[in-house]
Structure 1
Amino acid sequence: MDPMNYTPPVQPAPAPSPAYTTSCLKAAWEDVKATPNYISRLLVLGLIMCVPILNFVAAGYLLFWSREVPFGGRSLLPQKIVTGKNFEYGFYAFVLTLVVGLVGGIIGGIFCWIPFIGWVVSIAVSLATYVAGIIMQMRMIMGQSLGDGFNVKDIWEKARRNWGQLFAVTLIPMAIVIGISLVLSIVVFSIMFLCIMGAAPTIAAIGGAADPSFAQIMSLIAALAGPMIFCTLILYVVLSVAETFAEAVAIRGVAHWVARYAPEWTTLSAPRY
């Protein structure tokens, strides 16, 4: 063979990455609102979120519903919410969130002592902790095993395939909730302030009395504590519902992210949905 006239064989071009018409965030939102009564369904889920321990059910419900996406499923929000499986895997999700939260808290606490830069690093760690918690939960539900959620090496390898989509689908819904929280907090504290101002004559009367009676003292406590407790309770419920909406979109969105960038996780266990 004449090396001067040798032509190397044409190498096949690498297969292009599949193009998606919508982002993971938009696809997740479309899935959520596809259920005709999705608002009432998520309202019920939000009320469950208000109850300690029972709120594990809400996380398990959203994880099981989202688990179908990498397998090609596109069902509506399930009608049955409270089940043993939802509680079990919701508890697993709580454990993962607790562990990664403790690690993030320790790291953030170390850096927060550094002036200015430390606070920036602490905020970045908090955001990364939240993202890590959700993707760990998704890997856990894909394998239906708590241990699968702690495979940090594999999660890191897959997460690097598309950081942008992952951060967008998890942080944007939570950013909206934080914005709502700030607005509602201002409104609630304004109402509390008005209630205290309205109780000012009672406070002045009792304060001017040489020996206030028990009834007067109780009246003052009711005038101050009653509106504060009521407003705080309303704020807690509203924020729990808002957080449920955000988590529904975020968890479903991460499932779309897994379908696109970590399809290997479908082999962790057989689909059950």
Structure 2
Amino acid sequence: MQQGYFDTAWSDVSGSPGWVGKLLLLTLVSLIPVFGWIVVLGYLFGWAREIAWGVRAPLPARIFGNVDGLLYSRGASVLVILFLFSLAPFLLSCLYEGVSDVGGSVAERFLNLVPVAHVATPMITLAASLIAVMFALVGSMRASIYGRLASGLQINRIWTMIRYDMNGLLRIAGMAALLSLAAVGVVLVLMIVIEGLGLLVAWIVSGGGAHVWPRGFGMALFAAFCVIASLCLCSALVSAMMVFATTIVVRALGHWTAQFDVAHWRGQDDPLPFEEAQSSRI
């Protein structure tokens, strides 16, 4: 079983020549609606596919290189898989809200009679989200290896892989959650600081807050500029941190998949090598 997924993935990324520039370029590409993330995911899962096959190489030199001709189809497949699996917890939440709205007093009475339901509901949603993330990660990796969308939607085959090493996959899912939370925290702090400094400067420029023309108008205009600038900067920072987090998580996922002896995989419906080994021992 592979250990230290974060350390290994980080070593692979930081050991790649010009990795900072590549991540910045990926960030710029990710700002393009939909198409940008198709390219980013196609690029990163292509790199993860290599390590799953046992081929250790640095980050590909060209983002749009498309050496295997599957950059865009791979990225689109992964994007579709991530979207489809993310629907499960969303629909579960909507179902609960719908029952609450339709049931009205019945739902309220139930929650009052069973107080633990107030806690159980968000916990169930959180658990469903975690399960969806694991299925989405493994499904995306399978689609990248087989080169077809259908391979990433085989629930039974995905579950077989998850069950074999759920602890390792949970570490990767936890890593993804922590990196996402860290990104949100940094962005919120930065936004507060930038807007606070902008308002302070505007207050000073306006002569201590004198709300008279033209100072009052100038203060409002400058404050609006600071808000817009901070939003743009934070959007760029969010994209950069999302790209970094995705790079680490996807590379770690490639290492996790390598334990399944990908070089000896056959068709998408065939048993994996470890299943065949287990069958031969019975």
For normalisation by structure 1, the TM-score amounts to: 0.78
- SS class of match (1:76): coil
Pairs within 5 Å for 1:104-115: 104-111=89-96, 114-115=117-118
Contact 2:52–2:258 (8 Å) recurs in 1: yes
1: distance between equivalents of 2:157 and 2:216? Answer: 65
Q: Hey, what's the Cα distance between the residues in 2 that align with 1:64 and 1:224? A: 44
Task: Check conservation: 2:29, 2:40, Cα contact below 8 A.
Answer: yes
Q: Hey, what's the Cα distance between the residues in 2 that align with 1:101 and 1:193?
A: 36
State which drifts further: 249-258 or 104-113.
104-113
1:63 aligns with 45
Counterpart in the other structure of 1:180: 183
Alpha-carbon shift at residue 183 of structure 1 (Å) = 2.9
Which of 31, 53, 71 is the equivalent residue of 1:86?
71
CA drift of 1:111 comes to 4.7
Identity of aligned residues (%): 21
Gaps of 5+ in 1: 1-18
SS of residue in 2 equivalent to 1:67: helix
Q: Which residue number in structure 1 is paired with residue 133 of structure 2?
A: 130
Ranges in structure 2 where 5+ consecutive residues have no aligned partner = 101-116, 269-282
Kindly report which structure 2 residues correspond to 1:1-273, keeping only aligned pairs within 5 A, or say none.
20=2, 22-52=3-33, 53-82=35-64, 83=66, 85-111=70-96, 114-199=117-202, 219=218, 222-261=221-260, 263=262, 266-268=265-267
The root-mean-square deviation of aligned C-alpha atoms, in Å, is 2.8
Q: Encode CA deviations 1:51-85: one digit per residue, 9 max, x unaligned.
A: 21222101000011111123210111111112463
TM-score, normalised by the number of residues in structure 2: 0.75
Which moved further from structure 2: 65-74 or 180-189?
Answer: 180-189
| CA offsets 1:131-157 (integer angstroms, 9 cap, x no match) | 322211101011100111111111011
Going from structure 1 to structure 2, the CA distance change for 1:125 and 1:87 (only over 3 Å counts) comes to: same
Number of equivalenced pairs: 244
Q: How far apart in 1 are the matches of 2:90 and 2:38?
A: 22
Larger radius of gyration: 1
